[in-house]
Chain A
Amino acid sequence: MNIAEPLSKPGSDRGPDQPAIVAEALTKAYKGTLAVDHISFAIARGSVTGLLGGNGAGKTTTIGMIMGLILPTSGHVRVLGADMAHDRYRVLARMNFESPYVDMPHRLTVRQNLRVFARLYNVARCEARIEELAKTLMLEDFLDRAAGKLSAGQKTRVALAKALLNNPEVLLLDEPTASLDPDTADWVRTCLEDYRRKHMATILLASHNMAEVERLCDRVIMLKQGRIVGDGTPADLLAQFERDNLEEVFLDLARGRRNAAPQNAAPK
């Protein structure tokens, strides 16, 4: 698979020892309801971290705060050294995201959409980059078709192409393989693994697909009612909860069959 060469990475905030994402006592309350409750974590550069939790656990709010689209009630979140509440424009060109909560203009063709976003991200040689991504993500057959006329799977691949346009150092993904058939989903996961390996990119993904999380993630952060109830490698969590797979761990936590781990505690 041919994914573009990594960007050169000069700059004081790009050292390999600095975490890519740091959340400190991150809290978000909506009209008195705590959506995210004093969570803290640091995500290492070049890692893939899964954010797991049931509906309403606080995953989307957490990702929204990491992107700077939602302001924390208290606490801080820094991405590549920039405070995302106040200084996000310093690093937005080095990040990207994909989410089922957003879409791309339906009447524009895939190529037109990618061209617009390539220019917004100031991508050099944008037409060549679009062709390259079209080849990598197999978009060539519908590159000149209106985005609104694509199947759900095709839309997901186009959204992924948009997310990779600027070779982001930090990639935030919300359900990246939702609506894909197993074969295409597997292929997308391979693509993400390949992208991470070639670019040393940091990926944070929210997913309900436990097999996907076990395959892609070096680390899993489990959320319940806005609090971290599990944090560690998939193997650590399986050992901690004495389960065979993450789905069982997830169900234990979601249904309260096991006591949650202490807030922000490292796994045993």
Chain B
Amino acid sequence: MEQRFSFFRVHALVMRYIYLLASSWPRVADLIYWPLVQMLTWGFLQTYLARLPPQSGFVGKATIAAGTLIGAMLLWDILFRGQLGFSISFLEEMWSRNVGNLMMSPLRPMEFVTALMVMSLLRLAIGIIPVTFLAIWFFGFNLWGLGIGLAAFFVNLILTSWSIGLVVSGLLLRNGMGAEGLVWTILFLMLPLTCVYYPVATLPAWLQPLAWALPPTYVFEGFRAILVDHTFRYDLMLMSFSLNMVYFISSVFVFLCLLQSARKVGSLLQMGE
């Protein structure tokens, strides 16, 4: 009997990635290493700026002291690590030349995608959760103190990361390992545009509409609203979520189109450059 969608098969694939992580401590260490380095760098910078004397002329002191730098960095890492968690799990299949086996099995594309989303969450949890607790210990910044705001930020950031992961994975299927560089670099295009460390008003007027077209921009603005104005901006979160839905559905469509295109050009059996 044909099954349209099987969580059993999703579980099988998730199990495969867990076996891989469990067998390779460097992979696990890599998940924690970079968020830790980032947290320390931005945390010390924040400490330095917050301690500048009033006569230094530095006017953003109060904002910095509230923890915007280290907090923004941790939220950025949710976005970045979420996408990496999705895309690297996919890359593992290409590195091990296993894509043909999976594509020839009854595993459906949306089951594959669901397994990658689960792994994105799992890898993110391994990498980010310990670092958030270290941020409390080192710098007194408690990301968990954001409460419901953190949940809204997380949902919106992870949705964006999956949308980008889907498009990148589709490009890898279609174009082979030649597109591998995109996995590591594509998200950095968003770093200046989504205004991670500064308000949208900082951007030139002509660039601001583009910034507001990106869901994470609303998250980072909303984050600063909580820390500086002590206000949770539901309107920003709803706007971010609406945009995310549009981008996520579009990216699923793009992924399926690229998979179909890969079948046309015959790249599923030849996963090289």
A binding-site residues for B, Cβ under 8 Å = 28, 30, 60-61, 64, 67-71, 89-90, 92-93, 95-97, 99, 101-109, 112, 115-117, 119-122, 146, 162
A116 touches B13 (CB 8 A): yes
Q: How far is the CA of A28 from the CA of B264 in the complex (A)?
A: 9
Interface SS majority for chain A = mixed
What number of B residues sit within 8 Å (CB to CB) of A? 35
Given contacts A103-B96, A107-B24, A120-B13, contact A71 B101 (CB under 8 A): no
Q: Which of B9-26 contact A (CB under 8 A)?
A: 9, 11-13, 15-16, 19-20, 23-24
Chain A residues near B99 (CB, 8 Å)?
A: 102
Which residue of chain B is the closest to A63 with respect to CB atoms?
B269
Partner of A93, one of B13, B106, B266, B270: B106
Interface SS majority for chain B = helix
B98-117 contact mask (Cβ, 8 Å, vs A): 1 or 0:
11111111111000000000
Q: Other than the known A28-B266, A90-B2, A117-B12, what 10 A-B pairs have Cβ atoms closer than 8 Å?
A: A30-B265, A70-B264, A99-B100, A102-B100, A103-B96, A103-B97, A105-B92, A108-B23, A112-B16, A120-B106
**Interchain residue pairs with CB less than 8 A apart (20):** A60-B269, A64-B269, A67-B104, A68-B263, A69-B104, A70-B269, A71-B264, A101-B270, A102-B99, A102-B269, A103-B96, A105-B19, A107-B20, A107-B23, A116-B13, A119-B15, A120-B9, A120-B12, A120-B105, A120-B106
Given contacts A103-B97, A121-B105, contact A69 B269 (CB under 8 A): yes
Q: Give min CB distance, B232 to chain A, whole Å.
A: 43
* Cross-chain pair count, CB within 8 angstroms: 103
Chain B residues near A60 (CB, 8 Å)?
A: 269
B105 touches A101 (CB 8 A): no
A112 touches B19 (CB 8 A): yes
Interface membership of B8, Cβ < 8 A: yes
B19 touches A119 (CB 8 A): no
Q: How far is the CA of A68 from the CA of B268 in the complex (A)?
A: 10
B96 touches A116 (CB 8 A): no
Q: How far is the CA of A30 from the CA of B100 in the complex (A)?
A: 19
Q: Give min CB distance, B82 to chain A, whole Å.
A: 23
Chain B residues near A115 (CB, 8 Å)?
A: 15
Q: Give min CB distance, B88 to chain A, whole Å.
A: 14
Interface membership of B6, Cβ < 8 A: yes
B263 touches A70 (CB 8 A): yes
B16 touches A116 (CB 8 A): yes
Partner of B96, one of A93, A99, A105, A162: A105
Partner of B106, one of A28, A103, A108, A122: A122
Q: Give min CB distance, B3 to chain A, whole Å.
A: 8
Given contacts A101-B269, A102-B100, A106-B96, contact A92 B263 (CB under 8 A): no
A30 touches B266 (CB 8 A): yes
Given contacts A105-B20, A107-B23, A162-B101, contact A119 B106 (CB under 8 A): no
A105 touches B270 (CB 8 A): no
A104 touches B96 (CB 8 A): yes
